[in-house]
Amino acid sequence: MAALGWLTPRRRSATARSVLAGEAAAEAARKTSQQYEADSAQARADAAGAAPAEPVFPVVGDVSAAAFFDLDNTVMQGAAIFHFGRGLYKRKFFQRRELARFAWQQTWFRLAGVEDPEHMQDVRESALSIVKGHRVSELMSIGEEIYDEYMADRIWPGTRALAQAHLDAGQKVWLVTAAPIETATIIARRLGLTGALGTVAESVDGVYTGKLVGEPLHGPAKAEAVRALAGAENLDLTRCAAYSDSHNDIPMLSLVGHPYAINPDTKLRKHAREREWRLRDYRTGRKAAKVGIPAAAGVGAIAGGTAAAVALHRRRR
């Protein structure tokens, strides 16, 4: 499986490596090539006092538009790679202590909603060495089984309906995630989406070399991937939509004309409200209250870029 690490957040514009990662993700996504969604505008108008009803979106037949969905905690509850790791643990790919460590990190992200740079760097480096020498086809095959076992029942119905609305309007729908492109592609295919953009790991003759192409698809790199794909697909980004739970995806959300904050974390919720972006929260009111904010906003759980390291064990050992 393509390796990626837990990225250290960078407060800067896209670097050359981000551009490379984005372009590589777009190319990989193209190679592996929306329930109608109407806003409750009138209900909000009644509560607010007056706003007129919003126009129908997405626009049926607008093929110059597409939709881009983050994966972890936007389309799927939790981190895709964590669920993948559970499947590999069941198949004895790695030891209990590794699973326990990863489970703790998953819990930490759910409760704190933050990324630990030291953990991210450590797992990133480990993942690149662990994946080296494994065949892409081997993990793709196992990934299909694991989707049925652990992922299928963790898809948010609300977000799935949003994606289906775009598909029904005749538009393409892409996942955009820091998860490995292979994992993302399996999920996109099972959901009937157009394809996926994800972190690309270098492989030669179907075997991973232990290197990434550019950097993990995270933050600015996601925006670069969307920009590259839009250029290749002749899309008008001002007519496109993007959906995410994380403030790390603000670069991608800012790139399109229709940004949505889905199950947003605190920073994204604040940013979205300041800019009057649309908000959707499909988590329970109990969980939203637990973290101390209204159920309509919520704190995001897992940021993109979770580690593939725990999901892959050195079989040869």
Q: Is 193 left (phi over 0), alpha (psi -120 to 50) or beta?
A: beta
Q: Residue 104 contacts by C-beta under 8 Å, 6 or more apart in sequence?
A: none
Distance CA 9, CA 22 (A): 17
- Per DSSP, the residues of 83-138 read HHHHHHHHTTSS-HHHHHHHHHHHHHHHHH----HHHHHHHHHHHHHHHTT-BHHH
Residues 184 and 206: beta-carbon distance below 8 Å: no
- Residues with catalytic annotation? 70, 72
- Tracing tokens 């049925």 back to the chain, one arrives at 148
Question: What are the backbone dihedrals phi and psi of residue 174, each rounded to the nearest 5 degrees, phi first?
Answer: -125, 140
